[in-house]
């Protein structure tokens, strides 16, 4: 229920802001707006104020602003018709919707940094390597400083680069033992999301975050928040040490010295072999330290704008890789995925939900600016051509342009729904 409600609230606000951009720009240039609708299908609510009918429809997957005289094939009846206005004014009206989404994204990001939110501590710290596979070119304790010559400051920046470069050989400059060395690292490919992956995790503290149900750890009496101090008498300082000691036990019983609510306890547990991970485990997951980040209002504005620039860069980097075939279409998501993430963000708190809305608003704004027929970007392209030519486009060209647009949009919708459904099955 929370997922559905969060989805409706988020999408409703984003669509309203988008359509309000078109509405306000149309009003500014004197175009008559006949209908302002949030959603499609049967009307749940409708009310007329002045010359405009305001509608809330049953299907919250879009919206529209119906303006007088917006059919280019009909003769102009009034100076307030949409096509009675010069092309540059029509361009601004079409541009206003996506522009409002981008402005909203900046506002929401600023609000998030002003309200404050929890983030994994490791994501904002230096990219220090914790656990790595035996055959990895990286070593435990390495600090990743540059990727392909680009300076990185945090693990989050490293994750972004990896995600955008699936099946790619990366050159990493790491600090190891007080020296800088270059190593090569081949990224993997996530079949479900299409993003890049690496079998490397950040350095984490030896604190238990979750106990797998029915696991040896649960049977032995280990609990969430237990701090692992020693294993078989060996002092433990990081989670990767815990993993190594359990893995190297070869299934023999191990003795854990733990700290629980200020008391030291000794617990014996027998690891079991996990066929999926191909190693011995006891069924524990590390606790991820959270850091609350909050900034004074002026600094929050700077951070919000910085986040907007960062996410914009990611959008266009991914778009370029998608066009060139260096990114997978499997990473695209549709309404089902958006609804799932909306629900999780809402459960995580107001700040997480606002960040989610800012992210989706940014995606919606840029997506609508793509020069594809039936999108705002497609209209802008047609109006630009008309402006440059000095005369209207032929009905045949417009019809063919729209047909191409509907076909492309249809393929895209089928693709994202397919991806969403496959994610549900997995």
Number of Cβ atoms within 10 Å of the Cβ of 167:
12
* Beta strands 279-281; 272-274: pairing state: antiparallel
Close Cβ partners of 120 (under 8 Å, ≥ 6 residues apart): 288, 289, 290, 291
Catalytic residue from among 19, 257, 287, 307: 19
By three-state DSSP, how is residue 412 classified?
helix
Tokens of 64: 């529209």
- Strand residues in 160-283 grouped as ranges (E): 169-176, 179-186, 188-189, 196-197, 208-211, 227-231, 234-235, 254-260, 263-269, 272-274, 279-281
C-alpha to C-alpha distance for 322 and 16, rounded to whole angstroms: 29
19 is catalytic: yes
Number of Cβ atoms within 10 Å of the Cβ of 323:
9
Close Cβ partners of 381 (under 8 Å, ≥ 6 residues apart): 371
C-alpha to C-alpha distance for 380 and 370, rounded to whole angstroms: 10
Length of the chain counted residue by residue: 426
Enzyme catalytic residues: 19
């Amino acid at each position: 229920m929370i997922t559905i409600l969060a989805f409706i609230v988020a999408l409703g606000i984003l669509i309203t802001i988008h359509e309000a951009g078109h509405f306000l720009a149309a009003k500014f240039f004197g175009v008559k707006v006949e209908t302002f609708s949030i959603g499609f299908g049967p009307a749940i609510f409708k009310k007329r104020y002045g010359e405009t009918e305001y509608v809330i429809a049953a299907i919250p997957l879009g919206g529209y602003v119906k303006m007088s005289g917006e059919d280019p094939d009909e003769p102009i009846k009034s100076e307030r018709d949409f096509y009675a206005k010069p092309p540059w004014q029509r361009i601004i009206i079409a541009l206003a919707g996506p522009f409002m989404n981008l402005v909203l994204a900046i506002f929401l990001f600023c609000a998030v940094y002003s309200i404050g939110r929890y983030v994994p501590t490791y994501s904002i710290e230096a990219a220090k390597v914790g656990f790595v596979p035996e055959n990895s070119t990286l070593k435990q304790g390495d600090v990743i400083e540059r990727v392909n010559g680009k300076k990185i400051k945090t693990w989050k920046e490293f994750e972004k680069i990896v995600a955008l470069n699936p099946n790619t050989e990366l050159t990493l400059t790491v600090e190891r033992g007080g020296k800088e060395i270059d190593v090569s690292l081949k990224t993997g490919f996530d079949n479900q999301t299409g993003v890049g992956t690496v079998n490397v995790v950040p350095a984490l503290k030896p604190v238990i975050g979750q106990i797998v149900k029915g696991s040896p750890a649960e049977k032995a009496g280990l609990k969430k928040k237990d701090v692992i101090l020693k294993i078989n008498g060996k002092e433990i300082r990081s989670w990767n040490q815990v993993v190594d000691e359990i893995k190297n036990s070869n299934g023999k019983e191990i003795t854990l010295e733990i700290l629980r609510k200020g008391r030291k306890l000794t617990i014996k547990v027998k690891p079991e072999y996990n066929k999926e991970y191909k190693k011995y485990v006891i069924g524990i997951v590390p606790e991820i330290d959270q850091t609350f980040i909050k900034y004074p209002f002026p600094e929050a504005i700077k951070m919000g704008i910085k986040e907007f620039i960062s996410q914009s860069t990611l959008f266009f980097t991914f778009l370029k890789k998608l066009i060139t075939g260096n990114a997978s279409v499997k990473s695209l998501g549709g309404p089902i995925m958006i609804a799932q993430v909306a629900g999780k963000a809402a459960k995580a708190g107001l700040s997480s939900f606002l960040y989610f809305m800012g992210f989706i608003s940014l995606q919606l704004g840029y997506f609508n600016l793509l020069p594809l027929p039936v999108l705002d970007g497609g209209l802008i392209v047609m109006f630009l051509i008309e402006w440059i030519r000095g005369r209207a486009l032929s009905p045949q060209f417009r019809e063919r342009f729209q047909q191409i647009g509907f076909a492309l949009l249809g393929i895209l919708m089928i693709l994202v729904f397919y991806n969403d459904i496959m994610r549900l099955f997995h």
